[in-house]
Amino acid sequence: MTKPANEKSGARIVVPVALEGRGYDIHIGRHQLCEAASLIASFAPGAKAALVTDEHVAGLHAPAFETCLQQAGVATTRIEIPPGEASKSYARFAALCDALLAAKIERNDLVIAFGGGVVGDLTGFAAAVLRRGVRFVQIPTTLLSQVDSSVGGKTGINSSHGKNLIGAFHQPALVIADTALLDTLSEREFKAGYAEVVKYGLIGDPNFFDWCEVNWSRIIAGGPERDHAVAVSCRAKAAIVARDEREEGDRALLNLGHTFAHALERLTGYDASRLVHGEAVAIGLALAFRFSQRLGLCSGQDAGRVAAHLDAVGLPSRLQQVPGGAGSTEEIVAAMTQDKKVKRGVLTFILARGIGKSFIAPGVAADEVRDFIEAELAAA
């Protein structure tokens, strides 16, 4: 079983992302903000920085970070956006680009994304196109962004046609995951991010899933288990991204549960009071395993274990748990077929032959999906 071997001391863990010419390190540990500022200063001497954050994170953590940056000699301009998925919009993107230009951010300066996945995705996209590309640093402040969205260079915004449909690949130059920042995260947001942690065990690391089943409450409580979970997740993501930066193959495995999840988010209008991304992913993970079971690929025991773990943590695992209802079979299937992972009307799913044995299944028949969703909605 995976143990936080060298990670007990609370020392900083460094996970490299090996990309030819665009490689970078992910630094993980508690109370890293002043070290982050020193790293930024040494990595880009003389550069000024725009610190992009959301109003919520700004109130909690920006002054402390700005003090560290100031002490390290990095001049910063703070740019705040409203919290929430609605900020991944054309209007907010345009306003951010203009604010970065007004702050006179040049090609050799830095843009720092200091927030959750919303801030990271929006800021990364602005950095990708501003003056045809400026360097950006990710300082993720949610569990979801520390284990997933800050790593790998996918940036973007949403369109009325769907989530993340407008974007660019733009790798960060540095990622610093200060796990102490997660202490102020609401329990709901923390658990939502935990769904992405579990995902790595389900994709390809059954020992990590075993470890999560035993240690999940310690991950929430903080301490070495939290750092270990972030490090294992980042190593898994870094390995996949290094193999397939542009999602031409293996990287699609990271979408386990996401075809279902994106449909549920669309059907609930991206309304965080009903469903946040990680909660949609939790339902999607359970559905992916039950769908695999239905197709005769995965044992009922494994599918049951996945749902039982999500239930134990307090995450949703069924369509019936979507507040206000998920919608009808037809609505759910229609929302799924709008997903960008659909090629010529045929669905590509990430399915599983068991825990830690996920694989890419192109060409899943729409009828199979429809019958499965109908059965799920009919289940008590």
Residues catalogued as catalytic: 132, 154, 196, 237, 247, 251, 255, 258, 262, 277
Angle at 240 between CA 235 and CA 241, to 5 degrees: 95
Contact characters 222-261, ligand NAD, x per CB under 6 A: ----------------------------------------
Contacts of 70 (CB under 8 A, 6+ apart): 76
Q: Which of 37, 181, 288, 355 binds ligand NAD (CB under 6 A)?
A: 181
**Number of alpha carbons in the 13 Å side-chain half-sphere of residue 299:** 7
Query: Does 88 interact with ligand NAD (rule: CB under 6 A)?
Result: yes
Quote the CA–CA distance of 372 and 295 in Å, as a whole number.
Answer: 9
Query: Does 277 interact with ligand NAD (rule: CB under 6 A)?
Result: yes
Contacts of 160 (CB under 8 A, 6+ apart): none
Contacts of 94 (CB under 8 A, 6+ apart): none
Q: Which of 184, 321, 337, 338 binds ligand NAD (CB under 6 A)?
A: 184
Query: Does 117 interact with ligand NAD (rule: CB under 6 A)?
Result: yes
- Whole-number CA gyration radius for the chain: 20
Quote the CA–CA distance of 164 and 255 in Å, as a whole number.
Answer: 13
Least Å from the CB of residue 97 to ligand NAD:
18
Least Å from the CB of residue 308 to ligand NAD:
24
Query: Does 54 interact with ligand NAD (rule: CB under 6 A)?
Result: yes
Long-range contacts of 246-251 (CB under 8 A, 24+ apart): 246/169, 249/360, 250/360, 251/152
Query: Does 131 interact with ligand NAD (rule: CB under 6 A)?
Result: no
Piece in contact with ligand NAD (CB under 6 A), picked from 82-90, 131-139, 330-338, 364-372: 82-90
Piece in contact with ligand NAD (CB under 6 A), picked from 96-104, 178-186, 241-249, 339-347: 178-186
Quote the CA–CA distance of 378 and 380 in Å, as a whole number.
Answer: 6
Query: Does 279 interact with ligand NAD (rule: CB under 6 A)?
Result: no
Query: Does 122 interact with ligand NAD (rule: CB under 6 A)?
Result: no
Strands 346-352 and 342-343: antiparallel
Q: Which of 44, 49, 139, 144 binds ligand NAD (CB under 6 A)?
A: 144
Scanning 273-340, the segments in alpha helix (DSSP H) are 277-294, 300-313, 329-337
Quote the CA–CA distance of 235 and 147 in Å, as a whole number.
Answer: 9
Contact characters 190-229, ligand NAD, x per CB under 6 A: --x-------------------------------------
Query: Does 263 interact with ligand NAD (rule: CB under 6 A)?
Result: no
Give the interface with ligand NAD as residue ranges (CB under 6 A): 54, 56-57, 60, 83-85, 88, 115-119, 121, 141-142, 144-145, 148-149, 152, 154, 163-164, 181-182, 184-185, 189, 192, 277-278
